[in-house]
Structure 1
Amino acid sequence: MIGISCCNRDVGGENAQTVKDRYVKGVIEYADCLAVLIPAITTGFEAKTLAGKLDGLMLTGSTSNIDTRFYDPDTPAGEGPFDVDRDSVSFAMIDAMIDAKKPVFGICRG
């Protein structure tokens, strides 16, 4: 079971969790694995618990950039757009997967 990171996007004036089909199909059709979408929502999120249930993590590409303040809080913000909730969830999942000794596959932004 592979976790796939989602992005926050505006859909009809409402926030939505999105991921491109090519990432989901790649996991299902080519890796022959179950795909689980990981929303970019920090409320109620427990990375360690989720990492314990996954066999791997895919960090998808995105039009948003990682906020440079995640690397160094004293650094001015880089060039957006940013998805801060996605950054928070992704960094927590990376740490949890490494602690669990499970693979992480990052694409572009990831």
Structure 2
Amino acid sequence: MNQPLVAVSTDVRQFDNYTWHAAPQQYLDAAISVADVFPLLVPSFGERLDLESLLARVDGVMVTGSKSNVHPSLYGAEATEADGPYDEARDSTTLPLIRMAIERGVPLLAICRGIQELNVALGGTLASEIQEQEGRLDHRAPVSDDQNERFAIRQPVSIKPGSCLAGIFGAGEVMVNSVHRQAVDRLGDRLQVEAVAQDGTVEAVSVINARAFAVGVQWHPEYWAKSDDASARVFKAFGDAARDHAAARGGRLAAAE
């Protein structure tokens, strides 16, 4: 079977006197090498894009992490410089893309910023600078120029029994590389908690009664997907869901001919 096409979110960045729509290589590499899918970058042009047509042609959606944060106005909060940087062009693209993917039953994997976009897209809110809240751990990366150190697997999360992730990992704890300063606050409509950190921070969610795989994780499985079994399992499950969708879509197209 040919590799399923998977739509991938992009950040809007300014450098070399150009405006770029880009995604980090780790996500694309994990998609190709571990999920065995073909990543297709979606430019962040918001309502100028025909997302319905896109979703009729792809077999998955992956929403990546990013340095930027979802704009607070999208969940009823006041935007401050401290909560930035922002990427409103990305927001205008990913939030409707997430909602449409869920409604169409297109497999969805949302990572780091992605889980926050998923939560906001479904009506939830975000908490900022959670390391400053009483009883919360510091989930930020250590200060280092070494990316391997910054993204080291160091934090246990508890997988909810009977959840989608329990089917991937089994119930109990799994070690992850969670690196963030914002987190899910009020849970969005149709979402359920899949995993939590030791301090109760939501580390994974899934869409209730989703027609296909629809999971968000706050950690970074893309970084070690080729060497860490737990990280690989997330991408393999997503890839399997994309292949199932491709097979079903191919069957529907054949029946319509």
Mark yes or no: TM-score above 0.5. yes
CA-based RMSD: 1.2
Q: CA deviation at 1:49?
A: 1.3
Q: Secondary structure at the match of 2:55?
A: helix
After the TM superposition, which residues 64-103 of structure 1 pair with which residues of structure 2 at under 5 Å, given as runs? 64-72=68-76, 75-78=77-80, 79-103=83-107
| Stretch of structure 1 that moved more, 39-48 or 62-71 | 39-48
Paired residues for 1:6-21 under 5 Å = 6-21=10-25
Alignment match, 2:28: 24
Whole-angstrom CA distance in 1 between matches of 2:10 and 2:50: 16
- For 2:8 and 2:46, the matched residues in 1 are separated by 15
Rounded Cα–Cα distance in structure 1 between residues aligned with 2:47 and 2:108: 23
**Is the counterpart of residue 53 in structure 1 residue 68 in structure 2?**
no
Amino acid at match of 1:21: Q
Q: 1:3 corresponds to which letter in structure 2?
A: A
Letter in 1 for 2:91: D
Q: Which amino acid aligns with 1:76?
A: E
Relative to the length of structure 1, the TM-score reads 0.91
- Which structure is larger by alpha-carbon Rg, 1 or 2? 2
Gap regions ≥5 residues in structure 2: 115-257
SS at match of 2:105: coil
- Which amino acid in the other structure matches residue 101 of structure 2? M
Between 30-39 and 44-53, the greater mean CA deviation after superposition: 44-53
Higher RCO (CA-CA < 8 Å; seq separation 6+): 1
2:71, 2:24 → 1: CA distance?
A: 21
- The Cα offsets for residues 33-61 of structure 1, whole Å up to 9 and x where unpaired, read as 11100111226301111111111111100
Q: TM-score, normalised by structure 2?
A: 0.41
Count of residue pairs the alignment pairs up? 108
Using the TM superposition, give the Cα deviation of residue 13 of structure 1 relative to its aligned residue in structure 2, in angstroms. Answer: 2.4
Equivalent position amino acid for 1:67 in 2: H
Q: Which runs of 5+ in 1 are unaligned?
A: none
Separation in structure 2 between the aligned mates of residue 46 and residue 26 of structure 1, nearest angstrom: 27
Q: Which residue is 2:42 aligned to? A: 38
